[in-house]
A = this chain, B = another copy of it.
């Protein structure tokens, strides 16, 4: 068991790697525990939480709405949650985002913790204190920064995870390595298959090192005024792709493509050597992730863009989605580039310049 801590302004988080999910009560403050999970997670893991009350939420990105949050508020009210209670999300990033936001705003904030059941959530989404829901098609437009009290990573839970889900997590792990830990990047190059096949020593080391990158950055800049922006490496273009494909391109795939675009820009600006961009592409391929949009995706976009040329349609749709990125500040985007493997730099860029490399 390894333990990491985040001491943030919005709370302190204890991250416990290799802990059993059923140990939740050890980490809550002692009042009523209410678990939040979807039907599928309940069927897989519900038995681990004997005697604790469970509230069900919908599945998938479509459930990440204000309507779902209101349903949770209603349940919390019914169950008589008070400020001594603890809300625990069990599931992937969506369950954590949704339950985290509901808990952070119910009674102006009740205690909450996470038991992430996906690699993506364990290695990334459950840690850092961001929560939120989508609004009118924009991802995470509504939310807060609030640190969970605890995050328990039970690696046994990953065994029921289908391979594409593992790849989703791998995309974020590669991101963490690329922006902050060259040694971890090499480790992933050498051990990609072992991590994806859940070899315990490999996955524990990889998740731990990813979370070290993330906790350091979050602690330095909890509310994303500077340093934390580095965690968005690949995400600016990635979010735009997710948005315009209406979820057909998964988060991990979109971020993989987004990282390649950002690497290309980094090379074009003379900030990074071509061989480092190549290493990034190679590792993504090794993990089974895309490095550019494929023809089918482009076809789907064509329908939206009407008479434009295929390549232009794609580019224009991506730019249009980025225009409404919530990180846009006075018309400029804080775009994350690389100066090499393990070293990120945030650069203010206009949309036009980014467009040249799409």
Contacts and interface: CB of A to CB of B under 8 A. Distances in A.
Given A104-B144, A141-B107, A145-B108, A136 B330 contact: no
B326 A144 contact: no
A329 B143 contact: no
A330 B108 contact: no
A144 B142 contact: no
A106 interface: yes
A57 interface: no
Contact of A83 (B108, B109, B142, B329): B329
A108 B132 contact: yes
Q: Please state the number of chain copies in the assembly.
A: 2
Among A31, A132, A326, the most chain B Cβ lie within 10 Å of the Cβ of A326
10 contacts: A66-B70, A77-B138, A83-B328, A84-B329, A105-B142, A105-B143, A106-B142, A108-B145, A109-B145, A144-B144
B130 A326 contact: no
A330 to B, nearest CB: 5
Interface in A58-81: 66, 70, 73-74, 77, 80
A187 to B, nearest CB: 32
Interface of A: 9-10, 31, 66, 70, 73-74, 77, 80, 82-84, 104-109, 130, 132, 135-136, 138, 140-145, 223-224, 324, 326-330
Contacts of A224: 108
A130 B144 contact: no
A327 B144 CA distance: 22
A254 to B, nearest CB: 20
